[in-house]
A and B are shown apart, each in its own frame.
Chain A
Amino acid sequence: MNTNGHVVQATNLSKTYSTGGREVEALRGIDLTIAPGEFTVLLGPSGAGKTTALNVVGGLDRPTGGELTVAGEVIAGNGHRAREGQLDALRRKHIGFVFAQFHLLPTLTAVENVLVPMIWEDASDRGRAEGLLRRVGLDHRLTHRPDELSGGEMQRVALARALVNRPALLLADEPTANLDTHTRDEIFELLRELSDEGLAILFATHDHELAERGDTVLRLSDGVIADD
């Protein structure tokens, strides 16, 4: 598949679950392209298929149909199906995740949490981790554990962690859902800055106000993209 320099190129992407003996079409024929530095917002109500779309694009789940290429790696298409190890490597090297829940390791300090994704590469760059934490405004919280941080601070740590392996794509699944308005705006602005620096971002939210600030808004409803 020719990606034309896109970080994400999806064509006619679908995902069908089998649950409780019935088939559920979570995604139906989605077309999606994200270029480097593009801030794409996936807007939709709960159950629209936003998380499924992020999981499929992030290699956490496999599409049941269509073609998908992420960071030059073909995940699905033309009969090809990426192996689990390939998907692990893709996430490790090219994709960063942030979720509504921060999922920080409670026993580790902020800087140690940021370093965790490097361990899978048997690497450790404390200077980079500290630099990222400074970048997200946590230079005074480097050695604090999650239970000593506020929700906004924890999300900043999670963001620094997602960036530590220099990903090409950041997948953000309602990352501001559990934050107050002020903190929400700060985190969003931070993401905008990162996008302006060349990071491709796919941001899932049900917040119309936030969605308006993205470069591209995809409205998702019942697994189908309604319009751009």
Chain B
Amino acid sequence: MNWTLIAFKNILRRPIRSILTLAGIAIAVAMLFNLLEFQRGYERGLRGELADLGAHIMIVPRGCPYEAATIVLHGGKWPRYMEQEWYDVVRGTEGIEATTAIIMDAIIRDGGRENLIYMGIDDDYPTLRQSWEYAAGDWFGGEDTVILGSSVARSMDAGVGDTITIVDEPRVMPTQVTVSGILQRTNSQDDGLIFLPQRALQRIFGLEDKLVVILVKVEDVTKTEEIATSLRQASAESDAGMNIFPLSELLNTLTSLLSSTRVFVLAIVAVAFVIGGVGVLTTILMAVYERTREIGMMKAMGAGRADIFRLIWLETLITSAGGGLLGIGLALLSGRAVVALLRVVLPHTPAEFALGMTGSTFAICIGVSVLLGMVAGTWPAWRAARISPIAAIRGGS
């Protein structure tokens, strides 16, 4: 027999009311948990995606560089192009270890239900994407060959040596190509792409001498900004108007954009916590009123103000910590659904992006729940501690 047992039994006395109170806190905690894990998972996923690119600097045509970057990361159709000759300028810049130029296009059919993304790459691409492994076949065997990402190969039911037709008349006339390789699953955007030799894509899609992105790997990472500045100068001198930015800058910009959004979401979470806290306060206060005689009797038996305060506070803490644990469980159960929803709502989500559970997030959520309980429980506990035993036993408060 101890304090905790009494507190537990008091909470269980009104199960529906206690469950509703727990639910109020659980919802707020689940929101906080998902928010914290979202930020962490998003950053980790984005960092992984950018690392997979194997580059330090990205060069894209005029327009919003971040929109261009997300197109590059996920693949898609970008309506702006840069001239092939620019590639030679970039390659000639000092301090560059490797570069690769990419052209992309997409064929969308059935009102968006079928979305085939084609990426034209050059021989330098594998130098940067060293993580590539083949499930079958190998690199291009000629101009009219393709490499399929694992998901595309599965959806097309295509194997090495099979012939597929690229067609989107009248823009793209039927062209038959042969599958030369199928990639291992990478859990990245590559799984959903069809790779062609750069010149073949330019020819088939009528985009001769056009590029969408140039990726640059520098010899010395500490000189990335210096090289980016040099490329910007070259771009300005030739009035090419390229967007040149280090990928670290892209990461910072995307995550800071995310952080600013997080402030608004945090405000909503704070409101949810206030509502949850008021729920706890109301529930415990009602319980104190209902148990006035019991509390009076406890005082008659020798319980001091501090004892009564401690008991009521303990009930509040158990309720709020229970709500916190329930909220974390709720967040873990709903993690996949939340990620699926975010993928629909957000313009860019990393391919490998999941809501997990880290120790710090767990600690923050439980800590906030307990703090909420401490704050919400103070007034009811204080009220209970001040109950007069005589009035209470007599039937008043």
Contact = CB atoms under 8 A, between A and B. Distances in A.
Interface of A: 55, 58, 60-61, 84-85, 88-93, 95, 97, 99, 101, 103, 105-108, 112, 115-120, 124, 126, 161, 165
B13 A92 contact: no
B301 A120 contact: yes
B132 interface: no
B2 A106 contact: no
B39 interface: no
Interface string B255-291: 0000000000000000000000000000000000000
Nearest to B10: A107
B13 A107 contact: yes
A119 B390 contact: no
Contacts of B389: 60
Nearest to A129: B1
26 contacts: A55-B390, A60-B300, A60-B389, A84-B304, A88-B299, A88-B304, A91-B302, A92-B301, A97-B297, A101-B293, A101-B393, A103-B393, A107-B6, A116-B6, A116-B298, A116-B301, A117-B301, A117-B302, A119-B2, A120-B298, A120-B301, A120-B302, A120-B304, A120-B307, A124-B1, A161-B301
Contact of B294 (A61, A92, A103, A161): A103
Given A55-B390, A120-B307, A105 B6 contact: yes
B109 interface: no
A61 B388 CA distance: 10
Contacts of A115: 1
Interface in B1-48: 1-3, 5-6, 9-10, 12-13
Contacts of B302: 88-93, 95, 117, 120, 165
Contact of B297 (A61, A88, A103, A108): A103
A196 to B, nearest CB: 24
Contacts of A112: 1, 5
Contacts of A108: 6, 9
A223 to B, nearest CB: 16
A201 B112 CA distance: 90
Nearest to A100: B393
A107 B12 contact: yes
B305 interface: yes
Contact of B3 (A61, A97, A119): A119
Nearest to B294: A105
B173 interface: no
B1 A126 contact: yes
Contacts of A95: 302
A107 B9 contact: yes
B303 interface: yes
Contacts of A61: 390
A109 to B, nearest CB: 10
A220 to B, nearest CB: 18
A212 to B, nearest CB: 28
Q: How large is the interface on B (under 10, 10 to 19, 20 to 34, 35 or more residues)?
A: 20 to 34
Given A85-B304, A120-B304, 15 more contacts: A88-B302, A88-B304, A92-B303, A97-B300, A103-B296, A105-B9, A107-B9, A107-B10, A108-B6, A108-B9, A119-B1, A119-B6, A120-B303, A120-B307, A124-B2
Contacts of A58: 300
A95 B304 CA distance: 14
Interface centre among B3, B293, B300, B305 (most CB of A within 10 A): B300
A4 B293 CA distance: 36
A115 B298 CA distance: 12
Nearest to B305: A84
A85 B304 CA distance: 7
Nearest to A114: B1
A32 B122 CA distance: 108
Contacts of A93: 302
B1 A118 contact: yes
B319 to A, nearest CB: 15
Interface string B168-195: 0000000000000000000000000000
Contacts of A117: 301-302
Given A115-B1, A118-B1, A106 B301 contact: no
A90 B390 CA distance: 16
A81 B300 CA distance: 19
**In the A-B complex, the 6 residue pairs with the closest CB atoms:** A92-B302, A103-B297, A107-B9, A115-B1, A91-B302, A88-B304
A161 B297 CA distance: 11
Contacts of B9: 105, 107-108
Interface in B355-397: 389-390, 393
Nearest to A96: B301
A3 to B, nearest CB: 21
Contacts of B305: 84
A148 to B, nearest CB: 15
A88 to B, nearest CB: 4
Given A91-B301, A108-B6, A161-B301, A103 B293 contact: yes
A216 B47 CA distance: 89
Nearest to A103: B297
Contacts of B12: 107
Nearest to A89: B302
A97 B301 contact: yes
B390 A60 contact: yes
A91 B300 contact: yes
B303 A88 contact: yes
Nearest to B13: A107
A28 to B, nearest CB: 19
B296 to A, nearest CB: 8
Nearest to A112: B1
Nearest to A52: B390
Nearest to A92: B302
